[in-house]
Chain A
């Protein structure tokens, strides 16, 4: 019994030290579960559900014209490659990057070969729908933006810092696999698009 007590005491101390270490981390502490690992190239993306947009042009762009339910999953979008920007209205670098990301979107739209294959969405983590709307209006963002107000999606994606870019394939062996996983800006949109177009057939 005495031995059990001392083991318990040791466990208590270990847990106390661990919780202190976690709470004092300089970065938002990583959780201990598998699901919150940051997105890794070659790995599948966790299933993400978003609210079905109301606007008909956004629905058409995403290939969701006939969607009837209130939410949809990423796999329902028509694409070869889906580029997801994880952003926040409150993040200075996301604000600074917005014009560059818009340029990338315009380049994709202007390219007849790529416009149907590469789609883009943004997910505002910790942002309300109102806050996402403010960002969209401020920077004239034309690709669909969604709100993740309760950080549910952010947790599934390993609580990445913002901005963060993830691209997934929707075809062949790479179906639902991550092909791009990048923290920070996209750099030159021309070069970024070039590297994306090389992945566009998901081979």
Chain B
């Protein structure tokens, strides 16, 4: 009897937690955003660490180009923003936020590559809702999540973690932040790291 009551209480608490969103939804996406509910914060094991060379990759972008990491070598600091999925709540505002801070990226001689395991048509439709993006959006759809997996960022459900990776001009990983998938990483975290890396171009 007591166990049953405890069960009811636990269900009730769980229900209340789930019903409180951790984000604010923008009107521009209208009713199109699918809410997957609260997910396990992190669901993969990193395969790389800071100080190591980033694995090179080539992926198709929404712009129609094929983007290779090595093309930025000796030219730009690269920020990889892995997001779990198109048309979900937190992801749908993370990139629009980055879209108004191109100046900050320029200030640190950095560029941004957005990466998702969605296919190009989905990414095209979804990012089209955000307005014109200044950065490339890459599709890690096939082989499914291969790039995410090479970093150890592919979750058991087949989507990637919400992660930020900063790669310096020598191709070395200088910062990895695997965020709680349910929350957006604050912009200042990224800006502070860019500041540190551009002040110290070579790792210690």
- Looking at B27-35, B64-72, B138-146, B168-176, the stretch in contact with chain A turns out to be B27-35
Does B97 contact A89, Cβ atoms closer than 8 Å? yes
B-side contacts of A91, CB under 8 Å: 24, 26-28, 93, 96
Separation of A96 and B26 alpha carbons in the complex (Å): 12
The answer to whether A162 and B26 touch (CB under 8 A), given A92-B129, A128-B186, is yes
Interface residues on B, range: 35 or more
A183 at the B interface (CB under 8 A): yes
| Residues on B with beta carbons closer than 8 Å to the beta carbon of A24 | 35, 37
Q: In the complex the two chains form, is A29's CB within 8 Å of B35's CB?
A: yes
Which of these binds chain B: A8-16, A48-56, A105-113, A191-199?
A8-16
Q: How far is the CA of A134 from the CA of B61 in the complex (A)?
A: 28
Q: Is the CB of A130 within 8 A of B188?
A: yes
Residues of B within 8 A of A9 (CB): 4
Provide the bound-state CA to CA distance between A79 and B189, in Å.
Answer: 37
A155 part of interface (Cβ distance < 8 Å): yes
A163 on the interface (CB 8 Å rule)? Answer: yes
Known: A92-B93, A134-B100. 6 other contacts (CB 8 A): A19-B11, A22-B15, A24-B35, A90-B184, A95-B96, A126-B23
The 10 closest A-B pairs by CB, nearest first: A23-B37, A28-B21, A91-B26, A90-B93, A90-B97, A19-B15, A93-B28, A130-B188, A15-B11, A125-B24
Please name 11 pairs of A and B residues whose Cβ atoms are closer than 8 Å in the assembled complex, sorted by A: A8-B8, A18-B15, A22-B18, A22-B19, A25-B35, A27-B31, A29-B21, A92-B99, A128-B187, A161-B26, A162-B25
Residues of B within 8 A of A (CB): 1, 4-5, 7-8, 11-12, 14-16, 18-28, 31, 33-35, 37-38, 89, 93-94, 96-97, 99-101, 104, 129-131, 184, 186-188, 191
